[in-house]
A and B are shown apart, each in its own frame.
Chain A
Amino acid sequence: MRKPDHLASIVIDGIRFWTGIALIPAYLFINSPLIKLLLILFFALSVSLAGKKIRYLYFIMMTASITFFHLLTPNGKILWDLGIVQVTKGSLLTGFTKGISLAGLVFISLFSVTPSLKLPGKLGGLLGRMFYYFEIILDGKKRVQAKDFIGSLDRILNQIFPLHHIEAVPEAVSGIRVRSRGNRAGNVLYPLIWAILMGGAYLLDSL
């Protein structure tokens, strides 16, 4: 069962999304890996509040592999000599910082982007229509069989979107996905809290 999105009851999708977008450059401008790690903890907490899972092993592997590839180009003081590769301070720091920076960006995205996010304009309308169909087709997920993948998929599609439906325009394109309402205080406090947190991180970073 999907975990509830607690942030949705505090802040509306749009403010959440644009706050996340503003956090990206702010996060990238911080130099200290330690402060970045601290911020990642806050991001992870927010992801959890948003009811989403974090595949920690994936991010650990990603950071480790980025660090490893940077170690192949020695830079700075030699810390350890492992025979095949020399672990240098510069490469280790650059690789690790880059790894956690990317992990942090994904975390920001995870708690800022919601399935009910509505983009403006014609493209937003088309996305809404696609999600409308997606909600319908998702009901057939349990009937998909790996052994008879094509056959089972065809049966589902024929049942859900029979010929006459291909030509029909959906009547209720919007309103299928429940949009978060947020509350007035939350809509103001949410970006404010992040602004204070990032301001604090800047101060620590500049010390």
Chain B
Amino acid sequence: MPMFSEKQINRIAMLGALSLFLSTVEYLFPRPIPFMRLGLANIPVILCLDLLPSEKGRESVLPTLAYFLLILLKVLGQGIINGTMASYVFLFSLAGSFASGVMMYLAWRFLKRNITFVGISILGALISNMAQIILSIAFIFGSTAWRILPLFLGIGLVSGCIMGIFAQRFSEKSLWWNKMRDIK
């Protein structure tokens, strides 16, 4: 029996495409700090949580595995489009995306009634930055790079908050998204 139906595969591919698209329109927004990235590509990943099964008996749009497949598609797609798939950038992106993905999923699964997309997004951004800093300390900068941790976590806090607000507003206002969510 196939793991996903054609409808589900289509939805995952669409969300992945939206993620790639958002990463290309990121330049429309001013960057307060040169190295700061907003992480617009993460919005579909955050939104996807709302399509997963959460309560017993509630019919879901996508199975849980689809969420992690979407993260993999996002990272692979960005690696191919940007040409970084055969470099350390890809590994950093993979580690950051999956670490944050797992934590966001767990938070959504167990705290759903007490957490919004803003909280989820901030958590994801902090975990992603944390994972990437740990990797960069281990493989690139050395132990002295702990000094940049507060700066990167601060950046993660701000970008995560902005992305969370975007995701929250998009899920409330977008007609397209509401159709996607409602049609099983």
Contacts and interface: CB of A to CB of B under 8 A. Distances in A.
Interface of A: 17, 20-21, 24, 50, 52, 65-66, 69-70, 72-73, 98, 102, 105-106, 108-115, 117, 119, 123, 126-127, 129-134, 136-138, 141, 144, 146, 149-151, 153-154, 157-158, 161, 163, 166-170
A39 to B, nearest CB: 15
- 3 closest Cβ contacts across the A-B interface? A133-B17, A109-B87, A109-B86
Interface of B: 6-7, 9-14, 16-18, 20-21, 24-25, 28-29, 69, 72-73, 76-77, 79-81, 83-90, 140-145, 166, 169-170, 173-177, 179-180, 183
Contacts of A24: 86
A141 B21 contact: yes
A111 B85 CA distance: 11
B179 A73 contact: no
Contacts of A127: 73, 76-77, 80
B10 A169 contact: yes
12 contacts: A70-B141, A73-B144, A109-B86, A110-B83, A113-B79, A113-B84, A117-B80, A126-B73, A141-B24, A150-B166, A157-B177, A166-B180
Contacts of B166: 149-150
B173 A131 contact: no
